[in-house]
Amino acid sequence: MEAVLTAAVALLDEAGQSALTFRALAARLGTGVGTIYWYVPSKDELLDRATDHAVGAILAAVEEQPLSDDPIADLREMAITLFDAMMDRTWLAAYFMRNTDVQGNSLRLYEKLGQQTLRLDLTPRQRFHAVSAITGVVVGTAADLGAELPQEVLSGETNRVEYLSRYAETWRKLDAAAFPFVHEIADDFAEHDDRDQFLAALELTLAGLRLQAETP
Amino acid sequence: MEAVLTAAVALLDEAGQSALTFRALAARLGTGVGTIYWYVPSKDELLDRATDHAVGAILAAVEEQPLSDDPIADLREMAITLFDAMMDRTWLAAYFMRNTDVQGNSLRLYEKLGQQTLRLDLTPRQRFHAVSAITGVVVGTAADLGAELPQEVLSGETNRVEYLSRYAETWRKLDAAAFPFVHEIADDFAEHDDRDQFLAALELTLAGLRLQAETP
DNA sequence: TCGATTAACGAACGATGTTCGATACTGGAA
DNA sequence: TTCCAGTATCGAACATCGTTCGTTAATCGA
């Protein structure tokens, strides 16, 4: 059982979600496909449990994180830890948000984030919304990364730069009067870093949260 | 060609992403599956174009929206319009973020949002990040909705309430010392509204943005 | 009239999730 | 020891899906 999950996660890590098939998994485990169905009722369940398995590792990293006297700073660190872990496992974000059973490690992670909001002057509802907003920023941004790069993923980093430059070039050719914004950010887009983009979005949400906690 | 896209969108609206198969689409159009491949090279492309087709309708709604003298208020209205449209088409969010070609209507929508940031005192990079953050909140939250409710979707609204209550009940049974946060928000979770949750997350981001625009 | 382009069609292929009957292997009850 | 019920394993077979491909019409300018 444990072996099934670790093998599934390994397949997902190595070649993405399309690589996780029951036949590939059986071959890796040296068994038949029917055997896997004895442990897991369906692929959906397999994905859910593999996700929870991977979230467990993230949770461990978040829990051993030292706490400061600023709850919002702690929330920031936790969100960054979560995001960085998802950058290494781009498939995670897609299944994390689709998690039908909010049980297990996801729930514990949720709790861990929520505990920091308990240290802020907020209503329960505000805390609930705050944690949802933060996880939304993390998962939403991470899910973006898992998707982009169609075939250019086959090569190294240079192709990503060229890929973005090509887009920026297309944008610059657009009518400047009709697309003033796209023109202005073309340069920034061409050299944008996904992690910076995430950090900026997170900072906006945390700034809003701090404001909410400080105003009566 | 146009007929293919509208039929594809209709299938997606009626029964979700799993209902859009080439055979079902061909049957609806009264043609063969080979014919569709003459217009569209692959299912990925079909999804991309169908998404862009649907985004076109949203864009029209956003563009006819009157502008006020507060750019952030305008951004809020646009984001809400976008979110509401995605609640009716829960499949949209999943493909909107995966949009490999950020061309067409998605780009125009992006531009429309970005133009409001041009009215704020920000650097180009801040504007770029702000628009990304706002679309991230919309799409991230909307993608959540498209996923939840496993089989309960077969029935009406009452089942959703019962579904949430069951979760809340499970949470209340957890150890209160180990899960203080989950305990506190169980009630709010049981009766939470997805739209309220989105509005709260959006408000945090916009508050952060306003702060950023007002501080030198 | 002829050739080329455009358009339409569905059988066939390979891959995938899933089912199912057959077959062992265990450990206690008789 | 014998028997049987549960535990576990296996892979052929089925249905469905995206996709390919050879075969036809239909249309139109030369």
Chain C: nucleotides below 7 Å from protein CB are 7-12, 15-21
Rounded to a whole number of angstroms, the distance from the CA of B30 to the nearest CA of chain A is: 32
Structure pTM?
0.93
Residue A152 banded pLDDT, cuts 50, 70, 90: low
3-state secondary structure B44-101: HHHHHHHHHHHHHHHHHHHHCCCCCCCHHHHHHHHHHHHHHHHHHCHHHHHHHCCCCC
pLDDT at A34 (0 to 100) = 96
End-to-end alpha carbon distance in chain B = 51
Average pLDDT over every residue of A166-188: 94
Chain D: nucleotides below 7 Å from protein CB are 8-13, 16-22
Q: Does A191 touch chain B (CB under 8 A)?
A: no
Rounded to a whole number of angstroms, the distance from the CA of B210 to the nearest CA of chain A is: 9
**Residues of A numbered 53-82 whose beta carbons fall under 8 angstroms of chain B's beta carbons: which are they?**
none
B18 touches strand C (CB under 7 A): no
| Residue entry with tokens 């005192």 | B121
Residue A61 banded pLDDT, cuts 50, 70, 90: very high
Cα dist. A91→A52, A145, A156, B162 in Å? 13, 9, 19, 31
Domain locations along chain A: 67-214
Do the beta carbons of residue A138 and residue A79 sit within 8 Å?
yes
Q: Which fold has domain B69-214?
A: Tetracycline Repressor; domain 2 (1.10.357)
Rounded to a whole number of angstroms, the distance from the CA of B28 to the nearest CA of chain A is: 29
B32 touches strand C (CB under 7 A): yes
The CATH label, of 2.60.40.10, 1.10.240.10, 1.10.357.10, 3.50.4.10, for the domain at A67-214 is 1.10.357.10
Note the pLDDT tens digit of each residue in A102-131.
578 999 999 999 999 999 999 999 999 999
- Share of chain A residues as helix, strand and coil, in percent rounded to the nearest 5: 75, 0, 25
Q: Which residue of B has its CA nearest to A144?
A: B97
Q: Does A23 touch chain B (CB under 8 A)?
A: no
**pLDDT values of chain B reduced to their tens digit, one per residue, 216 residues:** 889 999 999 999 999 999 999 999 999 999 999 999 999 999 999 999 999 999 999 999 999 999 999 999 999 999 999 999 999 998 999 888 776 565 789 999 999 999 999 999 999 999 999 999 999 999 988 888 777 665 555 556 677 888 888 889 999 999 999 999 999 999 999 999 999 999 999 999 999 999 999 987
